[in-house]
Amino acid sequence: MLALLVAACGVFEFHPYEIRGGEESLNAKALARLPRHDPERPFRFAVIGDIQLFLDDSADAVDDLARRDVDLVVQMGDLTEYGTAQEYEWVARLLEKIPAPTFAIVGNHDLMGKGGLLYQRTFGPTFQSFDYQGSRFVLFDSNSLEYGFSGEVPDVARLREALMSGPARRHTFTFSHVPPGHPDFDPDLTEPVEALQAEAGVTISFHAHTHRYASDVRRGVRYFVADALESRNYLLVTVVGDSVDVERVYY
Amino acid sequence: MARLRFVGWLVVVLGLVGGRAARAADAEVETTVETEEKARPWYVPGHAAMQLAGSIGFTSAGPGWSFLEEAVEAEVMLGWAPRAIAGADFVTLTLKGRWNPFRLRYGNWTFRPLSVGGMFSYTFGGDYFLSQPGRYPDGYYWFRTALRPALILGASVGHSARTFDLDRVEAYAELVATDFRLVQFYHNPATVKTGIVSLALGARLRF
């Protein structure tokens, strides 16, 4: 009876931006599912780009990832086109099919309407930092334009703390939707963020947003921009000791 | 500015409903539906609708107008989804239009097996925009979060209700395909599947 009621609730929508039902805290759940720490073991993770209107292409990416031996996956934001509850649900259901723990960061489209609240409910806080296999992963919100270049996005103080604190580690990887230097990234914060990432010895700074693959080195830090998933490829990162290899995997 | 315009509309609509009720109270002689329909100016609502869900609130209600013997209808609905149910308060104003190509009668029953229509729903509040805020370059977003177009497929069943001093009471169901569902379905039929529509249930009281 209860199941029937829940199923019936699914067919009703009170408002496109309703914050009701659906998945919760998926990033925290992914964190709890990370494989056991084993510093001697090489590891691999995948970085997938904008989903937006490319759900069917993304479903193929998910199928491909299911066949691959990866420790974790990070989706780079713009999970949705309109930031609506239904889109969040579609994407959450899609990403759940990846056997490896999967994290998602927030993109500008995901913040539209009440999308920010939907992101927080579905995935969790927009800032997240964790260690895995002796490397640090820092996920943050860099959608400065959505906040009218308030000077607080990205949160440089918090980023500094996450990058500079804690025990020595082999690698540091950062993940944010809009790349520094892009017109939608707070122009006053590009220099501080790039300088901070250099100072902290970030291994790779991952981004998306432009829908177009790019790669360059700034102040000794490698920057990668993942293609949108309509281009049917994602980044596969292999970490063996001090060496970090990034390849584009087409599916 | 846009919000003011909608509030203005709302006042007009509420005024019309109030006027209609007062007129009904004044009427001392019971008139037949036909003569009343003829006597009624076009802007006086001919029915009221109440609805559950349908992307425009947990509940919504408003006056409606019928033309061409109810083949073409329009409604203006004020909708609300409270925080306790929807996680945030949502207030909407919706203009619905509908074409009823068929009407079947059986005794006191009236059936409309198919209605096709559309709506524009405006959501009040600072989190939504009707014209793109100045911080964005021109054309940065191609849609408006405050204004939601949708297509509607519906059916209804009605019964005369003269004992309640009403011409007819109808129950209706609608499948509502909002813009984002249609767009996502167009691009991603395999993922969206039946998620292209949500369900609305409602009642119409015809005066």
ipTM of the complex: 0.92
> What's the predicted TM-score (pTM) here?
0.89
Q: Do B92 and A148 touch (CB under 8 A)?
A: no
Q: Which of A69, A55, A54 is nearest to A249 (CA)?
A: A69
Over the stretch B167-190, which tens digit does the pLDDT of each residue have? 999 999 999 999 999 999 999 999
Chain A / chain B CB contacts < 8 angstroms: 103
- Indicate the residue of A13, A58, A81 with minimum beta-carbon distance to B53: A13
Over the stretch B72-125, which tens digit does the pLDDT of each residue have? 999 999 999 999 999 999 999 999 999 999 999 999 999 999 999 999 999 999
| Dihedral class, residue A52 (left if φ above 0, else alpha if ψ from -120 to 50, else beta) | left
Provide the residue-wise pLDDT of chain A in tens; the chain has 251 residues: 555 555 555 799 999 999 998 899 999 999 999 988 887 889 999 999 999 999 999 999 999 999 999 999 999 999 999 999 999 999 999 999 999 999 999 999 999 999 999 999 999 999 999 999 999 999 999 999 999 999 999 999 999 999 999 888 999 999 999 999 999 999 999 999 999 999 999 999 999 999 999 999 999 999 999 999 999 999 999 999 999 999 999 99
Minimum distance, in Å, between the CA of residue B48 and any CA atom of chain A: 20
Instruction: Please say whether the beta carbons of B179 and B147 come within 8 A.
Output: no
Q: Which of A17, A8, A84 is nearest to B201 (CA)?
A: A8
Instruction: Please say whether the beta carbons of A50 and A209 come within 8 A.
Output: yes
Q: Do A15 and B52 touch (CB under 8 A)?
A: no
| A65/B22 Cα distance (integer angstroms) | 67
Instruction: Please say whether the beta carbons of A140 and A174 come within 8 A.
Output: yes
Percent composition of chain A: helix, strand, coil (DSSP 3-state, to 5): 30, 25, 45
- Indicate the residue of A11, A14, A53 with minimum beta-carbon distance to B85: A14
Q: Which residues of A touch B189 (CB under 8 A)?
A: 56
Instruction: Please say whether the beta carbons of A62 and A90 come within 8 A.
Output: no
Q: Which residues of B touch A20 (CB under 8 A)?
A: 85-87
Q: Establish if A87 touches chain B: CB-CB under 8 angstroms.
A: yes
Q: Do A20 and B52 touch (CB under 8 A)?
A: no
Return phi, psi of residue A246, to 5°. -115, 125
Q: Is the dihedral of CA A92, A99, A213, A244 positive or negative?
A: positive
Token duo for residue A93: 């259901």
Please name the residue of chain B whose CA is at the shortest distance from the CA of residue A186.
Answer: B135
Q: Do B87 and A145 touch (CB under 8 A)?
A: no
- Indicate the residue of B133, B180, B189 with minimum beta-carbon distance to A16: B180
C-beta atoms surrounding A171 within 10 Å: 20
